[in-house]
Amino acid sequence: MQANQETYDEFDLFRDNAEEVGLAWSGPPVVRRQSVELTGGQRVSTLAWGTDSPELVFLHGGAQNAHTWDTVALALDRPLLAVDLPGHGRSDWREDRDYWPWRNAEAVAEVISQVAPEARAVIGMSLGGLTAIRLAAEHPELVRRLVVVDVTPGVDMQKSAPIAEFVQGPETFPSFDELLDRTMRYNPTRSETSLRRGILHNARPLEDGTWAWRYDKLRPPGGELHFAPLWDDVARLQAPTMLVVGSLSGVVVSDDVEEFKRRKPDVRVEIVDDAGHSIQGDQPLELARLLSDFVA
């Protein structure tokens, strides 16, 4: 796999995803990039898998992009939509730099209404999970089932400290190799192949030869994460809900799970062994299995 952007094709790496986890390869999947224009002119970019109306909608975490779901999508092998949240991937950046769940949910509601109105479930991880909670509370007609991956409104600066330290690091790097080296240091459980692939999707070379992330840097208001008001949205959830937690992650603790159960007593909770915060990266096949079971 080359680090040269001139050779990079975002649709040319799926075989690497499949081979890394032992999925049978029968040829490239049908995937297309499409842009959705929202009220006010902002554009949100998505990856549409398959040719039929999407059955599932996926929302990534902060500082990620729609390609974080590639291996899960290959394992599921069904029509789905993976969204680049505002300020991430190939979606437009916002002038006010408000990339938090409340504004994100407004954008995602428009996307689903336009291109995935019959989706059977919305799956969100981390920032995407909090966005999905807000979306489901405000637009229950768009979220028939909800899956929240390794996050609750109880997340704070302390619980997310290792992730925040990585995300709040340099915005540019002298070379691809230096970007890869830093990424590997913060993701010791992941293979170099998967991290290299992820960087190609999530960073780009600049004219001077340096490399920059594709996302607009997240800046918590006042320097603090404060998502506690979303607990009230958890209590409003009408859709069947599953909370999936990585056994090695510190982002969701037992008190958070108990609070989620108190607010949403019928929530299904699944703990994925040998998975950190990024369950879709650490245990994509197990996550795909859980999703298939829950949606079925």
Instruction: Check if the beta carbon of residue 71 is closer than 8 Å to that of residue 21.
Output: yes
| Helix segments in 101-171, DSSP class H | 101-115, 127-138, 161-167
The length of the chain in residues reads 296
Q: Spot the catalytic one: 88, 277, 278, 282.
A: 277
Q: Spot the catalytic one: 70, 150, 233, 282.
A: 150
Q: Token pair of 123, please?
A: 């799956």
Q: Token pair of 87, please?
A: 């300020």
CA distance 257 to 277: 15
Q: Token pair of 1, please?
A: 């796999």
Q: Spot the catalytic one: 60, 70, 91, 126.
A: 126
126 is catalytic: yes
CA distance 148 to 128: 8
278 is catalytic: no
**Residues 6 or more apart in contact with residue 217 via CB below 8 angstroms:** 167, 168, 171
Q: Is the dihedral of CA 216, 202, 119, 35 positive or negative?
A: positive
Pairing of strands 241-246, 43-49: unpaired
Q: Token pair of 28, please?
A: 């490239």
Instruction: Check if the beta carbon of residue 229 is closer than 8 Å to that of residue 255.
Output: no
277 is catalytic: yes
Q: Indicate which residues carry an active-site annotation.
A: 126, 150, 277
